[in-house]
């Protein structure tokens, strides 16, 4: 009899503790989410404007657990609303492999219904859906989701993902066009400094150097994702409400975040389009462009995003365990 009473008391206490944890979790999520909204101030206009201006996004259905996200860096101060950075983020849910493809903004391609132009013009003409169509038509690669990142929010989001900053080795002084001066040497950058670092392009490497720095920072941010980053996720989502227009659902975001924290997650692989020795610098009616060998770049992109290498990695991990 005494044992039965003890069991009921233990069960009652366990249920109370479990319920309390749920309540605390909900309160924490709500508080952190609203804290993120407050950080973002009142800039949540991006999504509404995108919905009014651009045609609906028709991303491909997911296959084999592979996710392709069109990443578009946007700046309201930019050239006629053109995308300032264009990437494809690839994530394999089986292997947790992350790959990043950067497409140079002056890449000369055929934009559906608009003819030949720089690829960054596609965003101004028709938003993320036209960018998706352009990539599909030229490179035969389709994407599932999109995310338009306002550069004003980049510093806040990166500081939440990597609160200890990002270590970089700045090769020379950077100042023109970024609103500050970054001095040469190894140092830890935060927030606005990181934004300045990835946007600087007034050197001999021009946009090529900027793409390298963008890939460098995204790789290092991924390497710093930890349990603390997951704890900051509600706040990150709150900030994202204002600065990121995306159709990636929160369930998928949580799944990717959990996968990136997995100890077996591999290093980030990166690719630049156009690849080396596959383009010419030309001046046409739309200005200076990169006239690319389309077939060569199409082949390299397809090979890079192929899951064959990922599957081999997964098999090797399975054997070693």
Q: Encode pLDDT of 252-293 as tens digits.
A: 877 777 777 665 556 789 999 999 999 999 999 999 999 999
* Torsion sign, CA atoms 38, 40, 41, 47: negative
pTM here?
Answer: 0.78
Angle at which helix 191-199 crosses helix 154-161, to 10 degrees, equals: 120
Do the beta carbons of residue 270 and residue 88 sit within 8 Å? no
**Which segment of 8-22, 141-155, 192-206 scores lowest on mean pLDDT?**
8-22
Higher pLDDT, 8 or 256: 256
Q: What is the predicted pLDDT for the residue at 224? A: 77
Q: What's the pLDDT band for 17 if we cut at 50, 70, 90?
A: low
Mean pLDDT of 56-82: 79
Higher pLDDT, 205 or 4: 205
Beta-bridge mates of residue 85 = 73
Task: Dump pLDDT digits (tens) for 202-229.
Answer: 887 888 988 999 999 988 888 877 666 6
Q: What is the predicted pLDDT for the residue at 116? A: 97
Q: How far is Cα 172 from Cα 183, in angstroms, rounded to an integer? A: 7
* Torsion sign, CA atoms 31, 75, 101, 54: positive
Task: Dump pLDDT digits (tens) for 106-142.
Answer: 999 999 999 999 999 999 999 999 999 999 999 999 9
Cβ neighbors of 230 (< 8 A, separation 6 or more) are 257, 258, 261
């Amino acid at each position: 009899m005494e044992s039965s009473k003890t069991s009921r008391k233990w069960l009652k206490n366990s249920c109370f503790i479990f319920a309390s944890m749920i309540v605390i979790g909900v309160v924490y999520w709500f508080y952190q989410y609203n804290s993120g909204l407050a950080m973002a101030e009142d800039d949540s206009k991006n999504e509404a404007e995108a919905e009014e201006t651009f045609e609906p996004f028709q991303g491909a259905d997911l296959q084999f657990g592979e996710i392709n996200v069109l990443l578009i860096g946007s700046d309201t101060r930019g050239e006629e609303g053109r995308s300032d950075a264009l990437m494809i983020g690839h994530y394999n849910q089986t292997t947790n492999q992350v790959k990043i493809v950067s497409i140079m903004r002056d890449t000369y391609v055929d934009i559906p219904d608009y003819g030949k132009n720089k690829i960054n013009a596609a965003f101004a003409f028709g938003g993320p859906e036209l960018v998706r169509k352009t990539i599909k038509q030229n490179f035969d690669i389709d994407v599932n989701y999109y995310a338009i990142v306002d550069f004003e929010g980049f510093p806040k989001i990166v500081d939440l993902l990597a609160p200890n900053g990002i270590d970089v080795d700045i090769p020379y002084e950077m100042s023109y066009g970024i609103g500050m001066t970054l001095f040469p040497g190894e140092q830890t950058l935060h927030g606005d400094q990181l934004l300045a670092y990835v946007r600087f392009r007034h050197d001999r490497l021009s946009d090529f150097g900027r793409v390298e720095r963008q890939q460098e920072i995204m790789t290092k941010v991924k390497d710093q994702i930890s349990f603390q980053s997951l704890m900051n996720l509600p706040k990150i989502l709150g900030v994202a409400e204002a600065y990121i227009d995306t159709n990636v659902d929160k369930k998928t975001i949580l799944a990717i975040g959990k996968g990136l924290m997995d100890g077996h997650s591999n290093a980030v692989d990166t690719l630049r389009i156009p690849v080396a020795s596959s383009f010419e610098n030309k001046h046409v009616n739309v200005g200076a462009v990169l006239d690319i060998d389309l077939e060569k770049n199409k082949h390299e992109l397809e090979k890079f995003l192929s899951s064959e290498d990922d599957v081999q990695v997964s098999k090797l991990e399975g054997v070693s365990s």
